[in-house]
A and B are shown apart, each in its own frame.
Chain A
Amino acid sequence: MADMAKAIKNHETDNVATVFDVVKAGADVKVFDKKGNTFVMKVSNDIPYGHKVALVAIAVGEQVTKYGEEIGVATKAIQPGDHVHVHNIDSIRGRGDWSAKGAQ
Chain B
Amino acid sequence: MPGFQGYVRKDGKVGARNYVAVIPSVVCSVEVVEAIVANTVMTQGIIHHQGCCQTPPDLERVTDCLIKICENPNVGAALIVSLGCEGVDTNRLEAAARATGKPIERVNIQELGGTSAAIAAGINAAQRLVMAISGQQRESVDMSSFVMGIKCGASDTTSGVASNPVIGYVADKVVDLGGTVIFGETTEFIGAEHILQRRAKNPHVASEIARIVTEMEDRAKAIGVDMRKGQPTPGNIEGGLSTIEEKSLGAIVKSGTRTIEGVIGYTEVPKGKGLWIKDSPGREIELLSGMAVGGAQVILFSTGRGAPQGFPVVPVIKICGNPVTFAHMQQDMDVNAGLIVDGTSSIEDVGEEVFQQLVRVASGETTKGESIKYTKSMDFYCLGPVL
Contact = CB atoms under 8 A, between A and B. Distances in A.
Contacts of B195: 69-70
Contact of B342 (A6, A67, A104): A6
Contact of B243 (A10, A36, A89, A103): A89
Interface centre among A18, A33, A84, A86 (most CB of B within 10 A): A18
Contacts of B343: 6, 20, 30, 32
A34 B348 contact: yes
A100 B214 contact: yes
Interface in A32-53: 32-36, 48-52
A52 B240 contact: yes
- What bracket does the count of chain B residues touching chain A fall in? 35 or more
B162 interface: yes
A90 to B, nearest CB: 7
Contact of B237 (A32, A67, A84, A86): A86
Given A8-B341, A90-B243, A66 B249 contact: yes
A20 to B, nearest CB: 4
A76 interface: no
A93 B250 CA distance: 16
Contacts of A20: 158, 161, 341-343
B243 A72 contact: yes
B242 interface: yes
A72 B245 contact: yes
Contact of B240 (A48, A70, A100): A48
Nearest to A71: B246
B377 interface: no
A6 B341 contact: yes
Nearest to B221: A102
A21 to B, nearest CB: 9
Q: Which of A6, A10, A71 neighbours the largest number of chain B CB atoms within 10 Å of its CB? A: A71
B253 interface: yes
Interface in B235-268: 237, 239-240, 242-246, 249-250, 253, 257
Centre residue among B162, B245, B257, B340 by max chain A CB count within 10 A: B245
A32 B343 CA distance: 7
Contacts of A13: none
A52 B160 CA distance: 13
Interface residues of A, number: 35
Given A18-B161, A49-B157, A93 B243 contact: yes
B242 A50 contact: no
Contacts of B249: 66-67, 69, 71
A91 B161 contact: no
B196 to A, nearest CB: 10
Interface string B352-365: 00000000000000
A66 B165 CA distance: 12
A50 B226 CA distance: 27
A88 to B, nearest CB: 9
B99 to A, nearest CB: 41
Interface string A6-23: 101010000000101000
Contact of B192 (A35, A69, A85, A90): A69
Which of B162, B243, B245, B250 has its CB near the most chain A CB atoms (within 10 A)? B243
B242 A8 contact: no
A93 B245 contact: yes
B245 A8 contact: no
Given A6-B342, A10-B253, A20-B341, A71 B242 contact: yes
A81 B185 CA distance: 35
A100 B210 contact: yes
A30 to B, nearest CB: 7
A78 to B, nearest CB: 12
A48 B241 CA distance: 11
27 contacts: A6-B341, A6-B343, A8-B161, A8-B340, A10-B253, A10-B347, A32-B343, A34-B348, A35-B347, A48-B240, A51-B240, A67-B165, A67-B253, A69-B192, A69-B249, A70-B195, A71-B242, A71-B245, A71-B246, A72-B246, A84-B242, A85-B240, A90-B243, A91-B243, A91-B244, A93-B191, A98-B194
Interface of A: 6, 8, 10, 18, 20, 30, 32-36, 48-52, 66-72, 84-86, 89-93, 98, 100, 103-104
Interface of B: 157-158, 160-162, 165, 191-192, 194-195, 210, 214, 217, 226, 228, 237, 239-240, 242-246, 249-250, 253, 257, 340-343, 345-349
